[in-house]
Structure 1
Amino acid sequence: MALIRIDGDNLVVVIEGLDKLWAFKSGLTIPLANVRGATADPGIAAESKGIRAPGSRVPGLITAGTFHQDGEKVFWHVKDPSKAVVIELADEEYARLVLQVDDPRATVALVENALV
């Protein structure tokens, strides 16, 4: 699972525990100026992921790491699609982040309120 918080002018994503090994990352820090928005999207897990590099994917269990699709990089960390949140980015290494969080609605509200 990912923990998301706002720290000053940054969105901070922390990957917990051993999930860091699956994702090949322990976290990300993104300036809020480069965050376009967030949505809860449990259906995104059914979409094509693209080419994994580096990352882990065991269908039905976990999708984690960097995936390349249509010329974009997307960071995934999802085990339970019902708790997936998509954070759209601009001018960043990743075009979007697809993350499993404890409370998708609260996370979307946190991100959206920080952008106001």
Structure 2
Amino acid sequence: MASLSVHSDRLEIHLTRAERTLALRRESIVVQRENIRSVIITQDPWIWLRGIRALGSIIPLVLAAGTWKFHGGKDFVSIKRHRPAVVIDLVDEEFARVILTSQHAADLIDSLKLPA
């Protein structure tokens, strides 16, 4: 599973070697925190897929990794089976949405909350 690093100004998504290979992607994904519109946890990440696979791999309901293109842009997906996942909606970034299977989704949401 991808490892997520939350910094004061950005979120870094470091893909494993297998995920980079399946997604046909060389580098990690870096998202500026100010460009994160919303973050939610879903129990069924498959319902969040939209568009068609542009680059990457898919075994339906088992594994999806790569870029999905849709009418309004593109999404990055790295999901496995029916495990909990985090859905990150973005603005002004390379991807409109990032969907990742993560065991630490709740911790990610807590760490992304801005101090009052």
TM range (shorter): 0.7 to 0.9
Q: Which runs of 5+ in 1 are unaligned?
A: none
Partner deviation per Cα, 1:10-37 (whole Å, 9 max, x = no partner): 1100111312101122420111111112
Q: Secondary structure at the match of 2:17?
A: coil
Partner of 1:84: 85
Higher relative contact order (CA 8 A, sep 6+): 1
Is the 8 Å Cα contact of residues 63 and 79 (structure 1) preserved in structure 2?
A: yes
Identity within the alignment, % = 28
Q: Which amino acid aligns with 1:64?
A: A
CA distance in 1, matches of 2:48, 2:70: 11
2-structure distance, mates of 1:115, 1:24:
37
Superposition map of 1:68-79 within 5 A: 68-79=69-80
- Please, what TM-score do these two structures have when normalized by structure 1? 0.86
Work out whether residues 83 and 103 of structure 1, in 8 Å CA contact, stay in contact via their aligned partners in 2.
no
Give the SS at the match of 1:81.
Answer: coil
Query: Does the 8 Å CA contact 2:80/2:101 hold for their aligned counterparts?
Result: yes
CA RMSD of aligned residues (A): 1.9
Name the structure with the higher helix share: 1
Q: Which runs of 5+ in 2 are unaligned?
A: none
Kindly provide the amino acid, as one letter, of the partner of residue 3 in structure 2.
Answer: L
Aligned partners of 2:41 and 2:87 also within 8 Å = yes
Shift of 1:70: 2.7
| Residue aligning to 1:59 | 60
Label 1:40 to 1:47 Cα distance change in 2 as closer, same or farther (>3 A): closer
What CA distance in whole angstroms lies between the structure 2 residues aligned with 1:48 and 1:96?
Answer: 10
Count of aligned residue pairs for this structure pair: 115
SS in structure 1 of the partner of residue 106 of structure 2: helix
